[in-house]
Structure 1
Amino acid sequence: MRRVLAVLSSLLLVGGLLTSPASAATAAAYTNPVVWQDFADGDIIRVGDAYYYSASTMHYSPGAPILRSYNLVDWEYAGHSVPRLDFGSGAYDLNGGRAYVKGIWASTLNHRPSNGTYYWIGCVEFNRTYVYTASAVDGTWSKRSQINNCYYDAGLLIDTNDTMYVAYGNGTISVAQLSADGLGQVRAQQVFQTPSSVGTLEGARFYKRNGYYYIWLTRPANGQYVLRSTSPWGPYEMRQVLLNMPGPISGGGVPHQGGLVQTQNGDWYYMAFVDAYPGGRVPALAPITWTGDWPAVQTVNGGWGVSYPKPNIQTSRTVAPMTGPDTFTTSGLGHRWEWNHNPDTGRFATGNGLRLQTATVTGDLYNARNTLTHRIQGPSSTATIELDYSQMANGDRSGLAMLRDQSAWIGVKRDNGVHRVVMTNGLTMNGSWQTTGTGTEAASATISGGRVWLRVNADIRPGSGRQARFSYSTNGTTFSSLGPAFTLNNAWQFFMGYRYGIFNYATQALGGAVTVRRFDLTTP
């Protein structure tokens, strides 16, 4: 999870890779990234004919999202392993503190066939590890235990004898054996020390194949290594898998971290992520081959392929699109949505649109509760909300944001009984994630009638100078630009990429409300 500032500057290929002339010309091919949304630090598993991918979410709630696929290429939102960031601190509720860039870091997901249970394990704030379980990824997840040891960047192995092991650590790599129920620790010991010539290794994933135990490790943010032993406790040999490998996204980083998965026919794939800021870290897929029981990435022209032949997986099962509309007609929010920190559940409702009552009196969007976020689809996409603002109170602010540590928004302000549509920029945080700017109104127009359509178009291709543009409509058809283009911050330190954020907060007193009738995410 940590970053090394200089590692993204070099794109020199280091030896030790197996190169294959995989053709991008075949019709049965897929293109990387397989998901152009922010899903970092992935763990990937197969259960029957379904593939599941778990990711980091930091301060967003619910946390630890799960994607599902039946062919490793097409994915859908499937669930969250952590229903609420219930870690004993009001900071996760934006109550007496804030938890930006804390919360859900690299964690692990696996399925235990003997009891039909999914396990999610993750360390929070470097000092304790939580275990959550469920009988289905899209079912009800429950916090089951707290282990007073930090399994930093954990990888969970369920051995062939049903024993559960966790590999973890940064530089110093350790293995823990869990209790029979998987909820406690029986034993833990160091099994490997990263050589100083390599630097830092972390992001552990733990596998067993042909009698060997493998700990899959990343060198952030430009390398991948693997350890191998005949015992979970070592001793382990180390091999380099990739270093400074050219990636599949123009301007993006080196694919790294993530995990390995075996298909029903025995083929192996590596699903890594690519640093692609300002949009975040996005998953890419490549085949793995084995030589002498050591894994190697199948490359294209010396790099991670932009395209590969589709996995040989025969399935008629399909997945729901990760873009498109939501009219909030169901009794709860879909898995595509995550709140900025834990929500005040008594101040929002779905079923007849998304009703957001003001939940915070503040002048700072970063302190406002119940800001609902959606990942941005790359390389560019447009988000539009239909907002009923007829029940706003004086001093309320509601709208659609480009949300990160440098933010801007388009929305409605009600002051002295008058409604204006406003574009605001200059919302900023410092490196400690404290607010340094609450925003400056850059443009506005008076509106009436109680309904407005707000739109943001975002270009999140990797690199500097990418922009978002804001516009509005009073009829849902004709849109007018408002304010200057907003230049996106492409630094990595906030970890999470930009998101679309729907918000409603008060600056004077609680009591107002808005209803979002529709959200739509479209691509060119």
Structure 2
Amino acid sequence: MEYLLKMKIMKRYLYPMIFSFCLSAGLKAQQQKVWGDWTVWGEQAGGMYMNPVIPSDYSDIDCIRVGDDYYAISSTFQFSPGMTVLHSKDLVNWEICGNAVEDLTQIGNALNWNVMDRYARGIWAGTLRYHNGRFYLFFGTPDEGYFMTTAVRPEGPWEPLTPLLSEAGWDDCTAIWDEKGNGYFVGTHFADGYKTYLFKMAEDGKSIDRKSAVLINEGSGREASKLIKVDGWYYLVFSEHKPGIGRYVLAKRSRKVTGPYKEEKQLALPSVEAMEPNQGGIVLGRDNNWYFLTHHGTGDWSGRIVSLLPVTWVDGWPLLGKVLDSKIGTMKWSSDMPFNADEKLSIRRSDDFDGSSLASQWQWNYQPRKEFFSLSERPGWLRLKAYRPLKPNDLLKAGNTLTQRTFRKSENDVVIRMDISHMENGQKAGLCHFSSQHSAIGVVKEGGNRYLEYRENGKMTKGAQIHSRYIWFRSQWGLDGKSYYAYSIDGDNFTSFGTPYQMVWGNYRGDRIGIYCFNDNGENGFVDVDYFHYR
């Protein structure tokens, strides 16, 4: 009886105390999370979510709300189609609803397959706005200047690009319309001391008055501007970088859109341990609370991943994340779900190539040579036709590489099935990872025979001769970003090949996974890809 009484006391009093202590310790551990070491992310049970919400390279985020829907954009640099558009119902679960710039040669020929001269450049950060029943997208490239396009639906079709300012050295733009319908455009001249100017803009967003420029901000790497209006105040939200301290978010405010923007407030600490969350969009949620959808700005192999921070208004300023006693925000790894949507959206990764067009997660490395790939010549398969790279045997100079973003998750398993029976001498094809460096597992045809090949940057390792018509390639990696390649001739039994490859950050991008096909000898041969399964 005494034993039973003790057990009842423990169950009633001690066990809840232990549970509460463990829960508290768990939440504390979440707040002190080691960068990249997340086994869970996104929406969780019990009405919570864990950052990141997208553990993948969706950089230079901006976010708006239209009715009950949220839309965001992410920069794409030299990848085509450009400027990815995302959609969400709850700010945590996202899907890709399209890409806004179908033809990168509208920006310049350097983004085409026959030049390929815009690594680390191309489409940088932009801003997404909704005005009078239309979506407006503004963005900059560091070499060509500012551009805009507009659409009735975020999925498109988007209008051909309109140049706004054909000058090099500008980045990170934003736009706004006042209550009278007057348009204003903000851009940063990073080539001249990071000076940020406000321009008058046409109501249709298709031109800006260069002579109307008014200086509203400058210094310390200040960029990533977003102009919003809340409760009669115009807020210029931006980031700043100081050597030895890091990058963090600030805001200026004014009662007039034209300024002056004299009041200034730092909204968050650099949170260096969390890779400096700093660029994004502040948006009012469906729950009437405010949120900051942001990327983490210091790159590693997974790129600039996306987190959602609650916003607390203190003394008329939007503080980001967890608010400290000193009235400044800092990184917050978990919070309550902004909304419980019935439909849980997700970013598509796998593809069986059954459609008439490529799924929206795919992007070519540079503007592709469209007649050299097909989804119709062999229905249900992607046909990649080979042609010469700009530099012999250089994957980063080969213009027929189809890519998508990799994810930083505990377990990643990508398998492709490839028909290699129509390869020609000099041709190479397979599965690759790349940013500024690369690795790949594939097949090369030489002297009428096909051989396995592992490549890591300029070093090639030749493997066994392949006699089968079909071959499967696999890449597996975890939170450490180390890829292990393997191949199979039956789709069931895989054999490791090549050395483990550490994915890297480069050209302002995280790692990409892709399918490549080129021929150093000429426009000869092709491969067919049955599927790309990303588990």
- TM-score, normalising length: structure 1: 0.85
Q: Calculate the aligned-residue CA RMSD, in Å.
A: 2.2
The correspondence for 2:380, drawn from 332, 347, 352, is 352
- 1:156 lines up with 2:175 in the alignment: yes
- Any gaps of 5 or more consecutive residues in structure 1? 1-12, 14-23, 428-438
1:338 paired residue number: 363
Match for residue 304 of structure 1 among 331, 337, 354: 331
2:497 matched residue in structure 1: 482
Instruction: Select the residue among 284, 290, 300 that pairs with 1:268.
Output: 290
Q: Deviations over 1:175-202 (max 9, x none)?
A: 122112211114632342335xxx2210
Of 188, 194, 218, the residue aligned with 2:239 is: 218
- Does the C-alpha gap of structure 1 residues 216 and 149 become closer, same or farther in structure 2, counting only changes over 3 Å? farther
The correspondence of residues 306-325 of structure 1 with structure 2, limited to 5 A, is 306-311=333-338, 313-323=339-349, 325=350
Q: Is 1:502 matched up with 2:492?
A: no
- What is the 5 A alignment of 1:173-184? 173-184=196-207
Q: Summarize deviations over 1:327-349 as a string: whole Å, max 9, x none.
A: 11101001100000000111111
Residue identity opposite 1:148 in structure 2 = L
SS at match of 1:242: coil
Q: Secondary structure at the match of 1:370?
A: coil
What is the CA–CA distance in structure 2 between the aligned matches of 1:409 and 1:443, rounded to whole Å?
12
Is it true that 1:448 corresponds to 2:467 in the alignment?
Answer: yes
The aligned amino acid for 1:120 is L
Deviations 1:109-133 (A, max 9, x none): 1111x2x211111122344211111
Alignment of 1:376-391 (within 5 A): 376-380=406-410, 381-391=412-422
Partner of 2:488: 473
Aligned-residue sequence identity (percent) comes to 28
Maintained 8 Å contact 1:202/1:219: yes
Alpha-carbon shift at residue 508 of structure 1 (Å): 1.1
The 5-angstrom pairing of residues 10-409 of structure 1 reads 27-87=46-106, 89-112=108-131, 114=132, 116-148=133-165, 152-169=171-188, 170=190, 171-186=194-209, 188-194=212-218, 199-220=220-241, 222-236=247-261, 237-245=263-271, 252-274=274-296, 275-299=298-322, 303-311=330-338, 313-323=339-349, 325-350=350-375, 351-361=379-389, 362-380=392-410, 381-409=412-440
**Contact 1:443–1:483, Cα closer than 8 Å, also in 2:** no
Preserved contact between residue 57 and residue 303 of structure 2 (Cα < 8 Å): yes
Is residue 176–residue 189 contact of structure 1 (8 Å, CA) maintained in 2? yes
Q: Distance in 1 between matches of 2:116 and 2:275?
A: 33
Contact 1:344/1:359 (<8 A) preserved: no
Using the alignment, how far apart are the partners of 1:484 and 1:25 within structure 2? 36
CA distance in 2 between partners of 1:410 and 1:343 (Å): 22
Offset of residue 472 of structure 1? 0.6
Alignment partner, residue 36 of structure 2: none
- 2-side partners of 1:384 and 1:417: how far apart? 26
Distance 2:256 2:402 in 1: 46
Instruction: Name the CA distance, whole Å, in 2 between partners of 1:235 and 1:316.
Output: 45
User: In structure 2, what is the Cα distance between the partners aligned to 1:239 and 1:401?
Assistant: 45
Cα distance in 2 for residues equivalent to 1:370 and 1:79 = 21
| Structure 2 contact 268–330 (Cα < 8 Å) conserved | no
Rounded Cα–Cα distance in structure 2 between residues aligned with 1:159 and 1:386: 54
Letter in 1 for 2:335: Y
Please give the alpha-carbon distance, in whole angstroms, between the structure 1 residues aligned to 2:454 and 2:464: 9
The structural deviation recorded for 1:149 is 5.3
Paired residues in the alignment total 471
* Partner SS for 1:222: strand
Confirm or deny: 8 A CA contact 1:155 1:168 kept in the other structure.
yes
Query: 1:458: how far off?
Result: 2.9
Question: In structure 2, what is the Cα distance between the partners aligned to 1:269 and 1:518?
Answer: 38
Distance 2:45 2:517 in 1: 49
User: Aligned pair 1:420/2:455, yes or no?
Assistant: no
Change (3 A) 1:127 1:422: closer
Quick one: which amino acid aligns to residue 266 of structure 2?
Answer: Q
Once the 2 structures are TM-superposed, how far is the Cα of residue 245 of structure 1 from its aligned partner? 2.1
Change (3 A) 1:373 1:25: closer
Rg comparison, structure with higher value: 2
SS for the counterpart of 1:413 is: strand
Which structure has greater helix proportion?
2
Q: Tell me by how many angstroms 1:263 deviates.
A: 1.5
For 2:302, give the aligned amino acid: G
Q: 1:143-182, CA deviations, whole angstroms, 9 ceiling, x for partnerless residues? A: 2421225562011223333322222214322112211221
Structure number with higher relative contact order (C-alpha < 8 Å, ≥ 6 residues apart): 1
Q: Which one-letter code corresponds to 1:192 in the other structure?
A: I
Q: Gapped runs of 5+ residues in structure 2?
A: 1-31, 33-42
Query: Is the contact between residue 420 and residue 446 of structure 1 (CA under 8 Å) also seen in structure 2?
Result: yes
Native 8 Å contact 2:250 2:268 kept in 1: yes
Q: Deviations over 1:492-514 (max 9, x none)?
A: x5101110011100011212010
Change (3 A) 1:276 1:180: closer
Give the alignment's TM-score, normalised by structure 2. 0.84
Q: Is the Cα–Cα contact under 8 Å of residues 64 and 80 in structure 1 kept in the other structure?
A: yes
